[in-house]
């Protein structure tokens, strides 16, 4: 039990420290106090995240079952609030301005959604380890949870934040797959989702359309939408095997790479630490995720199990999509790299999620 | 398979994909991306030094440099080139179409600034400089350019500078010359380009995505070209040019003891500044001019020497003992050579050698020539430096031509007749010499026995070359021959009936020989070659006027030149 706690804590701390180093390197050449302060802010967030990590690892996750509707309601409420009074940055309305920081409710919504879905597909009784979904028909198994997922997803996509919106969808499909909902239903859901995509094309924002086109061929607009991907690929590629060394990455430090401390922090890291460093980083992410899966597999409680799966899945998807988009293998969607990218909400929620994960493992043995 | 196992496998597969992607970028294509990364952030900013100055023998500037301002456009950060061009067009008053053409013509790559307007006025440069903030892509760059304070002065000696042409580039690439380099064309500018040439320095700097300077990676200071000091004397050169302007021909003044050329002027000439300012129309006009203003007549073109050649005859006759100073012939206005009558330009009566030279009597030299023989005339002409390059360092020298019976036999399958000898004796026929050869020949008489190698560059970058340049070839004549001929040359001026008598009014005693060359078409060429002062020669001079009339015209110009030099206290 202690094992998983320390494994996760240490891996998370290493990754977060590498994140701080990368943020420092990417902002060190920029002018202005604000830029110089950023890595300190990230450090502060990691501290806060650690506090929450310890708190959540002590906090019995079963209580989340009861708080479930409240959490779901809160997530919806924040998303609506963002819709009304969010701060607009870089063309998107994703942030809520709280006292001294900006809070991104979509990050919270992801975790809330996982808790909600875990609750939805499991039973109250701790002793009954079977899933309730085994007997679910198409309405209970697919349509009803889809409505619950659809509401926050719609709000997030409207922000617009296509990445986080699709993330909710993917987590939903992934968790459905892990419950006993029939495969037939899942495929039906996927068909319903994918078939009208050409139709939805018209509802996408221009910049989103462009990003997708650019993903197919970054060179159609080398100075516009394709710029980021091209620069990111150059940054990663120029790192070579051993990297250019810390603080020596010209792409990230000289600002050729936009968003080098947030969404494209992987490129920043990779330029400086090379193929070797990047593979080790990916390996560390994989170890955390594997730990999550191990925890899920040895948890008898259905709610805890689904929760652990969901959290692992969330991490997996975020890491995969972010790195893939850095490599130019996925379209550019605004998704942070968990624990590395600068951003309070993301760091905090990730540590909370890891805290829950550890707690599931801890509580499991109590029964 | 259980669903969770499937999911685990999918996740492993996803991570494997990432690692393969990483491998592809970082390892397989790493070198390419490293290059792209470097070209992203490393810029070379060229800083040009200035080309070496060209000075006269006293250190007076003949050609130097001044700062000019070029307008350049850096197109890489520019979305709308037309907008920038419109601004430039408004300020400079140059048509936008012209600017667009210049942009297209000079464009190399988007990271290299493109010059759209060169050499703008300082006032406009300041105005454009004020738009630095609004239009950072417009760069006003100071650049040293050639400056010719005296315009066309000594243009043929100096040459001009222009962008390197393809032919020169292929030859000079190995010496570090690059496209668009400014190199010398013709004259000293070309010959000494390697020394005059500035060394481009530059900064290699790291820039950020906006092209903003971040830090210096390396610096190579530009080096100015070396100064070239000529043997020309600016004051004499000015006098010469003033007198020559408007008359086709060339004038050379040379130190008869060292071979230093003190003045060398040709007309028509050109103003090298037209190349600096890229006056395309003027330049093509110059190139198409039938009067060939780029031709350095003094060395690059040869003419019949006419009576000037009689000096060769006199030398040959004396040396071969066919005549002596006391020998005299009677001139009756003409003489028969074979069946043909060869005339003199006057009826001189009894003429000894001195008189014959002074009066330029044809009959005397017909007879001398026939005594000496054509092959000997040819040989003595060569001994006096005719018919071959004088070995001056100036490019484009022609050797002239001295015919001989052997040559005619071999090349034309014709026999040589006495008539040809007579013709050669007065420097007509196929015989051709350059004004510089004539000067050099006279110098040998001025210094009594040494054929010099004329040169034009005294020192390069402070290193005195005159020791190396001074090269004498002894002319193996008897001392007396030189004395006799020199006296004859002095008589040309001092004798009341001498052909150069017009010079006798000068306070300086001049010795020389006139020449009036018959040409197939147009007026005769006028020659005056000589040296002065007679007793202690300091200058050898050659005045040659192409289609300038009788030798008297050249004597007159010589007089004006020597008068002006005397007035300025140069003698």
Neighbours of A325 (CB within 10 A): 26
Of the partner residues A177, A241, A274, the one whose CB lies closest to the CB of residue B7: A177
Alpha helix ranges (H) inside B203-265: 234-244
Of all residues in chain A, the percent with pLDDT exceeding 90 is 36
pLDDT at A220: 57
Chain B contacts of A270, Cβ < 8 Å? 22, 26
Instruction: Record the tokens describing residue A183, joined without a space.
Output: 């495969």
Of the partner residues A234, A239, A293, the one whose CB lies closest to the CB of residue B40: A234
pLDDT in tens, B465-505: 877 777 888 889 999 999 999 999 999 999 999 999 999 99
Mutate one of B30, B37, B137 to test the A interface: name it (highest A CB count within 10 A): B37
How many alpha carbons fall within 13 Å on the CB side of residue B452? 29
Chain B contacts of A316, Cβ < 8 Å? 11, 14
Instruction: Give the start-to-end residue ranges of the domains of chain A.
Output: 2-364
pLDDT at A104: 86
Which residues of A fall below an 8 Å CB-CB distance to B?
29, 174, 177-178, 231, 233-241, 250-251, 254-256, 270-271, 274-275, 278-279, 282, 285-286, 289, 293, 296-297, 309, 313, 316, 320, 323-324, 327-329
Of the partner residues B11, B18, B206, the one whose CB lies closest to the CB of residue A254: B206
Instruction: Record the tokens describing residue A144, joined without a space.
Output: 């009803």
Q: Between helices A62-85 and A302-326, what is the axis angle to 10°?
A: 40
Contact B25 A324 (CB under 8 A): no
Report B:33-52 residues touching A (Cβ under 8 A). 33-34, 36-38, 40-41
Distances (CA, A) of A202 to A209, A216, B195, B412: 9, 18, 69, 92
Q: Are B151 and B238 in contact (CB under 8 A)?
A: no
Distance, CA of B176 to CA of B174 (rounded, Å): 5
B343 touches A at CB < 8 Å: no
Q: What is the DSSP string of B70-135?
A: EEEE-GGG-S-HHHHHHHHHHHHT--HHHHHHHHHHH---TTS-EEEEEEE-HHHHHHHHTTTTT-
Of the partner residues A237, A254, A296, the one whose CB lies closest to the CB of residue B41: A254
pLDDT at A1 over 50: no
pLDDT at B424: 92
**Across residues A91-106, what is the average pLDDT?**
74
Contact A241 B27 (CB under 8 A): yes
pLDDT at A12 over 80: yes
Nearest CA in chain B to A266: B22
Chain B contacts of A239, Cβ < 8 Å? 26, 30
Distance, CA of B435 to CA of B248 (rounded, Å): 13
DSSP letter, residue B503: G
Distant-in-sequence, close-in-space partners of A11: CB < 8 Å, separation ≥ 6: A284, A287, A288, A291
Distance, CA of A263 to CA of B49 (rounded, Å): 47
Name the nearest CA neighbour of A152 among A87, A86, A106. A106
pLDDT in tens, B13-22: 999 999 999 9
Report B:1-40 residues touching A (Cβ under 8 A). 3-4, 7-8, 11-12, 14-15, 17-19, 21-23, 25-27, 29-34, 36-38, 40
Distances (CA, A) of A268 to A43, A239, A337: 18, 9, 12
pLDDT in tens, B309-368: 999 999 999 999 999 998 999 999 899 988 889 999 888 889 999 999 999 999 999 999
pLDDT at A367 over 60: no
Distance, CA of B473 to CA of B176 (rounded, Å): 38
Contact A329 B210 (CB under 8 A): no
Nearest CA in chain B to A228: B209
Residue recorded with tokens 């920038």: B84
pLDDT at A101 over 80: no
**Average pLDDT along chain B:** 88
pLDDT in tens, A124-178: 655 555 666 566 777 877 888 889 999 999 888 888 788 888 889 999 999 888 8
Nearest CA in chain B to A316: B11
Q: Would you place residue B251 in the very low, low, confident or very high pLDDT band (cuts 50, 70, 90)?
A: very high
Contact B37 A235 (CB under 8 A): yes
pLDDT in tens, A348-362: 999 999 999 999 988
Neighbours of B13 (CB within 10 A): 9
Of the partner residues B8, B25, B209, the one whose CB lies closest to the CB of residue A237: B25
pLDDT in tens, A196-250: 777 777 777 777 777 777 666 666 555 556 678 888 888 898 888 888 888 887 7
Of residues A259 and B305, more confidently modeled: B305
pLDDT at B48 over 80: no
Of the partner residues B19, B29, B40, the one whose CB lies closest to the CB of residue A250: B40
Instruction: Record the tokens describing residue B398, joined without a space.
Output: 């022609």
pTM attached to this predicted model: 0.62
Question: Smallest CA–CA separation between B82 and chain A, in Å?
Answer: 19
Instruction: Record the tokens describing residue A300, joined without a space.
Output: 């008898």
Contact B38 A250 (CB under 8 A): yes
Instruction: Delineate the domains of chain B, giving CATH numbers in brackets.
Output: 44-230 (3.90.1310.10), 234-567 (3.40.710.10)
Distance, CA of A115 to CA of A171 (rounded, Å): 11
């Amino acid at each position: 039990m202690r094992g998983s706690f320390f494994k996760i804590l240490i891996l998370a701390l290493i990754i977060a420290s590498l994140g701080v180093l990368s943020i420092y390197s990417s902002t060190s050449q920029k002018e202005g106090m604000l830029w110089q302060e950023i890595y300190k802010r990230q450090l502060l967030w990691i501290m806060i995240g650690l506090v929450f990590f310890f708190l959540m690892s002590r906090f019995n996750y079963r209580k989340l079952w009861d708080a479930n509707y409240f959490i779901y309601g809160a997530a919806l409420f924040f998303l609506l609030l963002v819709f009304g009074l969010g701060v607009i940055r870089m063309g998107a309305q994703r942030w809520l301005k709280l006292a001294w920081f900006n809070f991104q409710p979509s990050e919270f919504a992801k975790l809330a959604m996982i808790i909600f879905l875990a609750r939805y597909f499991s039973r109250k009784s701790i002793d009954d380890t079977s899933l309730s979904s085994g007997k679910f028909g198409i309405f209970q198994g697919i349509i009803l949870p889809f409505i619950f997922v659809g509401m926050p997803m719609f709000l997030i996509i409207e922000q617009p934040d296509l990445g986080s919106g699709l993330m909710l969808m993917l987590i939903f499909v992934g968790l459905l797959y892990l419950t006993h909902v029939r495969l037939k239903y899942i495929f039906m859901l996927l068909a319903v989702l994918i078939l009208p995509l050409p139709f939805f094309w018209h509802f996408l924002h221009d910049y989103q359309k462009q990003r997708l086109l650019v993903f197919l061929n970054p060179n159609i607009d080398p100075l516009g939408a394709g710029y980021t991907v091209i620069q990111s690929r150059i940054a990663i590629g120029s790192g070579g095997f051993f990297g250019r060394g810390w603080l020596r990455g010209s792409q990230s430090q000289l600002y050729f790479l936009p968003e080098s401390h947030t969404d494209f922090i992987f490129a920043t890291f990779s330029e400086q630490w090379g193929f070797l460093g990047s593979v080790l980083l990916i390996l560390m992410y994989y170890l955390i995720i594997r730990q999550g899966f191990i925890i899920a597999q040895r948890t008898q409680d259905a709610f805890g199990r689904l929760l652990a799966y969901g959290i692992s899945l969330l991490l997996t998807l975020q890491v995969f999509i972010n790195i893939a988009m850095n490599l130019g293998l996925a379209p550019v969607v605004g998704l942070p790299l968990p624990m590395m990218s600068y951003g309070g909400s993301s760091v905090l929620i990730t540590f909370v999620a890891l805290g829950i994960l550890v707690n599931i493992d801890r509580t499991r043995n109590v029964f | 398979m259980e669903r969770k196992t499937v999911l685990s496998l999918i996740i492993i597969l996803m991570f494997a994909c990432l690692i393969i992607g990483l491998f592809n970028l970082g390892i397989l294509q790493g070198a390419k991306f490293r290059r792209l990364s470097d070209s992203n952030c490393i810029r070379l900013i060229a800083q040009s030094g200035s080309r070496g100055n060209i000075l006269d023998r006293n250190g007076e500037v003949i050609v130097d440099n001044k700062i000019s301002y070029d307008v350049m456009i850096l197109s890489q950060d520019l979305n709308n080139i037309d907008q920038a061009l419109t601004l430039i067009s408004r300020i400079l008053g140059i048509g936008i179409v012209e600017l667009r053409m210049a942009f297209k013509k000079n464009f190399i790559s988007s990271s290299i600034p493109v010059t759209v307007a060169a050499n703008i006025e300082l006032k406009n440069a300041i105005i454009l400089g004020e738009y630095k903030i609004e239009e950072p892509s417009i760069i006003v760059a100071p650049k040293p350019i050639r400056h010719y304070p005296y315009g066309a002065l000594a243009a043929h000696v100096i040459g001009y500078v222009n962008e390197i042409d393809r032919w020169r580039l292929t030859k000079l690439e190995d010496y570090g010359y690059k496209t668009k380099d400014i190199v010398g064309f013709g004259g000293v500018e070309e010959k000494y380009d390697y020394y005059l040439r500035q060394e481009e320095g530059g900064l290699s700097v790291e820039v950020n995505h906006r092209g903003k300077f971040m830090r210096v990676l390396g610096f190579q200071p530009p080096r100015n070209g070396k100064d070239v000091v000529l043997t020309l004397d600016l004051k004499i050169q000015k006098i010469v040019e003033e007198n020559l302007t408007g008359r086709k021909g060339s004038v050379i003044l040379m130190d008869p003891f060292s071979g230093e050329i003190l003045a060398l002027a040709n007309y028509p000439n050109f103003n090298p500044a037209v190349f600096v300012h890229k006056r395309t129309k003027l330049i093509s006009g110059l190139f198409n001019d039938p009067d060939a203003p780029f031709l350095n007549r003094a060395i690059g073109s040869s003419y019949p020497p006419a009576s000037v050649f009689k000096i060769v005859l006199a030398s040959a006759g004396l040396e071969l003992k066919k005549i002596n100073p006391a020998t005299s012939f009677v001139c009756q206005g003409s003489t028969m050579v074979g069946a043909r009558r060869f005339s003199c330009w006057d009826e001189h009566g009894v003429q000894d050698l001195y008189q014959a030279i002074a009066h330029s009597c044809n009959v005397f030299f017909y007879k001398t020539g026939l005594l000496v023989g054509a092959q000997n005339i040819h040989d003595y002409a060569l001994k006096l430096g005719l018919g071959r390059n004088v070995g001056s360092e100036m490019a484009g020298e022609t050797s002239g031509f001295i015919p001989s019976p052997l040559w005619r036999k071999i090349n034309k399958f014709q026999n040589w007749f006495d008539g040809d000898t007579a013709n050669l004796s007065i420097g007509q026929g196929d015989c051709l010499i350059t004004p510089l050869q004539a000067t050099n020949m006279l110098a040998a008489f001025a210094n009594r026995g040494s054929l010099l190698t004329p040169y034009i560059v005294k020192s390069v970058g402070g290193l005195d070359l005159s020791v190396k340049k001074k090269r004498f070839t002894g002319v193996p004549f008897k001392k007396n021959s030189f004395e006799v001929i020199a006296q004859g040359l002095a008589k040309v001026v001092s004798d009341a009936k001498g052909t150069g008598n017009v010079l006798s009014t000068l306070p300086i005693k001049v010795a020389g020989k006139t020449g009036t060359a018959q040409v197939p078409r147009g007026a005769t060429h006028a020659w005056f070659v000589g040296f002065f002062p007679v007793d202690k020669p300091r200058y050898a001079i050659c005045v040659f006027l192409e289609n300038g009339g009788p030798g008297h015209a050249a004597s007159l110009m010589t007089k004006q030149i020597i008068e002006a030099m005397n007035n300025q206290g140069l003698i």
